[in-house]
Chain A
Amino acid sequence: AQKVTQAQTEISVVEKEDVTLDCVYETRDTTYYLFWYKQPPSGELVFLIRRNSFDEQNEISGRYSWNFQKSTSSFNFTITASQVVDSAVYFCALSVTQGGSEKLVFGKGTKLTVNP
């Protein structure tokens, strides 16, 4: 099966706390790509990062960082010093190859609430 599991349904933190969103994936592809998207209350889906399965280097972008570990099939997302504007639903996604085309499989999402 090819799927993405985000075990944390909802997380609530106080502003300035660090928070990690977990993502575990399953795939039979040897080459694949992982993504994180943010969906604020307004509803649009905002692309955050794409990671190649061959590149296990951690990525940092401002307060955001991503930890990709193939050994545990995980691609976790950490927000440092969280802010109220970080409140959103965050989706992890996996690209899968079906019928010769690439498709995205999404996890169920983690709703993050950052309280002032």
Chain B
Amino acid sequence: SAVISQKPSRDICQRGTSLTIQCQVDSQVTMMFWYRQQPGQSLTLIATANQGSEATYESGFVIDKFPISRPNLTFSTLTVSNMSPEDSSIYLCSVETSGSYFETDTQYFGPGTRLTVL
């Protein structure tokens, strides 16, 4: 499996500011994903980030609020812009790796970034 790191691991931010979360993988991967997990809730996919193309956002998430960069095959960033207390969540990146079954891979997750917005 891939080794995935995220920075920062946690942060407390003021309303109206922005935070950029970094996701680093120890091997080259094609697909990276960003998820949000609100307190006590399940995971919701924000967007899919493929290297060399624009990120694909899920319904309810927009690029102005959550801009994503994917400059190479081992790195991605997610920015949470103009934050409000409702953005307090765990943000997780995941990568898709090849498994023993054809066509469908397994997603492995980073340790997450715990964001609190005051």
Binding site for A on B (CB under 8 A): 1, 41-45, 48, 56, 90, 92, 94, 96, 99, 101, 104-112, 114
List the B residue with the shortest CB-CB distance to A32. Answer: B104
User: A64: which B residues are within 8 A, CB to CB?
Assistant: none
Q: What secondary structure prevails in chain B residues at the interface with A? A: strand
Decide yes or no: A35 and B106 within 8 Å by CB, A43-B112, A47-B1 being known contacts: yes
Asked whether, in the complex, the Cβ of A109 is within 8 Å of the Cβ of B42, the reply is yes
User: B107: which A residues are within 8 A, CB to CB?
Assistant: 35, 47, 104
The answer, yes or no, to whether A103 is at the interface (CB within 8 Å) is: yes
Decide yes or no: A43 and B90 within 8 Å by CB, A50-B101, A52-B101, A91-B43 being known contacts: yes
Q: List 29 A-B contacts (CB under 8 A).
A: A35-B106, A42-B111, A43-B111, A43-B112, A43-B114, A44-B109, A44-B110, A44-B112, A45-B109, A45-B112, A47-B1, A47-B106, A47-B108, A50-B99, A50-B101, A50-B106, A52-B101, A99-B56, A101-B56, A102-B96, A102-B104, A102-B105, A103-B45, A104-B45, A106-B42, A106-B43, A106-B44, A107-B42, A109-B42
